[in-house]
């Protein structure tokens, strides 16, 4: 037996693993806490949970779910209430949309030109989150939109100019704090300078440190000054002139050097989802040097405090290199209970300290974990203490009712109305009369299944409700080449819209323009489409000659003829659809401002 094996006895390894488990944030599978999830919470005492749309059905259901999470986690640490997080930054990423609606995108807020609206949106959103029992929002996005092809940033950012982004980031943090919600700036040190998606690969950003300081780091510095509670580390590699190819989330130079020492952030650092390819690729190469079984613990050793897992806890786990999960939670429970009986828990800390005296590496690991544990404990105490600040109510009515949609803060609608922007290089749009016939052709480009998509169907249905004689086609997602060699959209007429709900059971028919009605194209896009898709869009424009194009997502407009008006909507929520309808009906002018929003 080696000296290392003598020091790292099974008891010590077991306790070390248990200490690392307390640094996890885990996801749940559904609307109720399942038996194996409850056991996991009880056994491991994780720091908290993250909620997704799959966990959200109703207010009472969410309250009960969170209550059970608190019950099981309080059994191990009664003085430290758990963190309850949600990715609810706005527009595309709004996991609580079923109950509290969809906040405007960051870029829509920036298009208004009013940073105070960022604060107001955050405060109203935070108040609604607090009513659900959610105490941490994974927002704001502090990335700059530096690469137009990036599918990750775009509408999720406040634009391309670092100082402007920084101002809106700080206002957002202030607004959430007024509502008693903790904040998390992401994705340090920036995800906006790469066209690659860290959900699918490990992106590399080969910028100099000086270039990072001038651009990417500016909003994160301002976030630190504004008192942001957490920083999310990206799974993007920043070699910084070296041969190191590691995700920032596993790179101590980035976490401890750049973030903690240079930027001066001393709060909690959380990883981006460890199920993303950018993390898995790296972690799979490191197993065994610290006993945790996955390589992800190396992020803790690099300086992170919380490990974020967004896939639900499985009912069975893989052991021994088996191809299929083979250990049930019942078996795991028996093993853990047996270990806890065998291990002298009163003396285990003494054994760890004694072992660390003989092993410098273990001593360093324990030091890292102890410092990290203190930061996480402080965060959890503050999350429990959070309460809405007595701030003067925003101007106007707090709540509006968007037809059959959930009630949302009035500020969401104001942002939508003030952010709709006419592309200045194109002619002004005409006015659509309420009884004028029109067909809306929705087109969607999504680069992968791992990224959130707009609810294009919902947007078009909400838009058509404002015009009784409008119809719509199904959403176009691909194009075909005809026998004549021309490119055609794979497009069919959808059923009519009544009360925001499409008829079910109606058969779609191929759509052909009649010449007696206008056509409106609603285009949702993440990142930059490939040449083939752009060619298909050009074919749509030639074939249907749209009276106006509504751009819901990334500002990709080169396919639109120069004589066609373009309205930039910066989102696809019901309130955005209503604001766009008002502009098309001539009831409101598009007053948004695009300067500084995207890379030139």
Q: Give the rounded distance of the alpha carbon of 538 from its chain centre.
A: 31
Which of 199, 309, 454, 466 is an active site residue? 199
**Alpha carbon distance 235, 240 (integer Å):** 15
- Tell me if residue 356 falls in helix, strand or coil: helix
| Nearest-10 crossing angle of helices 410-419, 574-584 | 40
Give the torsion sign (CA, 336, 340, 345, 350). negative
- Tell me if residue 129 falls in helix, strand or coil: helix
Per the structure block, which two tokens stand in for 426? 């194109």
Active site residue 199: yes
Q: What residues form DSSP beta bridges with 231? A: 185, 269
Q: By the 8 A CB rule, do 268 and 371 touch?
A: no
Q: What phi and psi, each to the nearest 5 degrees, are found at residue 390?
A: -75, 75
Q: By the 8 A CB rule, do 191 and 153 touch?
A: yes
- Tell me if residue 211 falls in helix, strand or coil: helix
Rg of the Cα atoms in the chain: 26
- Tell me if residue 338 falls in helix, strand or coil: helix
330 contacts: CB under 8 Å, gap ≥ 6: none
Per the structure block, which two tokens stand in for 267? 């709060």
What is the length of the chain?
Answer: 600
**Alpha carbon distance 117, 175 (integer Å):** 9
Q: By the 8 A CB rule, do 487 and 535 touch?
A: yes
Q: By the 8 A CB rule, do 84 and 33 touch?
A: no
**Alpha carbon distance 476, 473 (integer Å):** 8
Which of 272, 305, 455, 474 is an active site residue? 272
Per the structure block, which two tokens stand in for 539? 């074919």
Q: Which of 58, 62, 183, 59 is nearest to 122 (CA)?
A: 183
Q: Which of 490, 464, 462 is nearest to 476 (CA)?
A: 490
Interior/surface letters 529-545, b for 16+ CB within 10 angstroms, e for the rest? beeebeebbbbbbebbe
Q: By the 8 A CB rule, do 143 and 191 touch?
A: yes
DSSP assignment of 285-328 equals T--SSSTTSSSTTHHHHTT-SBEEEEEEPPSEE--TT-SS--EE
- Parallel, antiparallel, or unpaired for β 408-409 and 184-188? unpaired
User: Cα-Cα-Cα-Cα dihedral of 36, 42, 47, 53, to 10°?
Assistant: 30
Residues assigned a catalytic role: 199, 272
């Amino acid at each position: 037996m080696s000296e290392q094996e003598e020091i790292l006895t099974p008891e010590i390894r077991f306790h070390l693993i248990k200490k690392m488990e307390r640094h996890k944030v885990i996801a749940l599978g559904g609307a109720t806490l399942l038996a194996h999830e409850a056991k996991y919470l009880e056994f491991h005492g994780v720091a908290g949970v993250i909620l997704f749309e799959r966990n959200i059905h109703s207010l009472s259901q969410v309250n009960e779910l969170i209550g059970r999470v608190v019950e099981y986690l309080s059994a191990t640490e009664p003085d430290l209430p758990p963190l309850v997080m949600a990715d609810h930054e706005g527009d595309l990423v709004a996991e609580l949309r079923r109950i509290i609606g969809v906040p405007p995108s960051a870029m829509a807020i920036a298009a208004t030109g009013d940073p105070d609206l960022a604060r107001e949106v955050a405060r109203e959103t935070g108040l609604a989150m607090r009513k659900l029992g959610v105490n941490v929002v994974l927002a704001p996005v502090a990335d700059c939109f530096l690469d137009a092809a990036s599918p990750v940033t775009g509408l999720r950012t406040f634009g391309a100019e670092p100082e402007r982004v920084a101002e809106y980031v700080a206002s957002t943090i202030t607004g959430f704090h007024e509502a008693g919600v903790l904040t998390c700036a992401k994705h340090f040190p920036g995800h906006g300078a790469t066209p690659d998606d860290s959900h699918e690969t490990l992106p590399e950003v080969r910028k100099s440190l000086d270039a990072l300081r001038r651009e990417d780091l500016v909003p994160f510095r301002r976030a630190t000054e504004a008192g942001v509670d957490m920083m999310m580390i990206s799974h993007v590699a920043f070699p910084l002139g070296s041969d190191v190819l590691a995700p920032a989330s596993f790179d101590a130079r980035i976490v401890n050097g750049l973030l903690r020492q240079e930027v001066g952030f001393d709060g909690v650092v959380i990883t981006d989802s460890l199920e993303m390819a950018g993390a898995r690729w790296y972690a799979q190469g490191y197993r065994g040097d610290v006993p945790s079984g996955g390589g992800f613990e190396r992020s803790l050793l690099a300086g992170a405090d919380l490990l974020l897992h967004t896939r639900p806890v499985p009912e069975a786990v893989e052991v021994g290199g088996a191809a299929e999960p083979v250990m049930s939670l019942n078996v795991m429970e028996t093993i853990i209970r047996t270990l806890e009986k065998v291990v002298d828990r009163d003396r285990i800390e003494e054994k760890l300290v004694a072992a660390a005296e003989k092993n410098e590496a273990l001593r360093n690991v324990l030091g890292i974990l102890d410092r990290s544990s203190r930061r996480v404990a402080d965060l959890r105490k503050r999350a429990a203490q959070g309460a809405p600040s007595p701030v003067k109510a925003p101007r106007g009515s707090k709540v509006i009712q968007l037809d059959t949609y959930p009630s949302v803060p009035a500020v969401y609608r104001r942002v939508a109305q003030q952010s709709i922007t006419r592309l200045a290089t194109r002619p002004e749009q005409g006015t659509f009369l309420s009884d004028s016939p029109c067909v809306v052709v929705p087109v969607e480009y999504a680069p992968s299944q791992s990224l959130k998509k707009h609810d294009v169907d919902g947007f078009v249905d909400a838009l058509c409700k404002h015009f009784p004689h409008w119809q719509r086609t199904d959403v176009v997602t691909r194009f075909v080449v005809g026998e004549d060699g021309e490119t055609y959209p794979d497009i069919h007429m959808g059923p009519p819209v009544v009360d925001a709900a499409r008829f079910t059971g109606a058969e779609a028919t191929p759509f052909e323009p009649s010449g007696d009605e206008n056509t409106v194209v609603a285009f949702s896009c993440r990142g930059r489409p490939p040449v083939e898709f752009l060619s298909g869009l050009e074919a749509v424009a030639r074939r249907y000659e749209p009276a106006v194009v509504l751009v819901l997502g990334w500002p990709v407009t080169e396919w639109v003829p120069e004589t066609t008006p373009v309205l930039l909507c910066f989102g696809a929520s019901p309130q955005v659809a209503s604001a766009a309808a008002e502009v098309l009906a001539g009831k409101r002018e598009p007053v948004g401002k695009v300067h500084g929003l995207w890379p030139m």
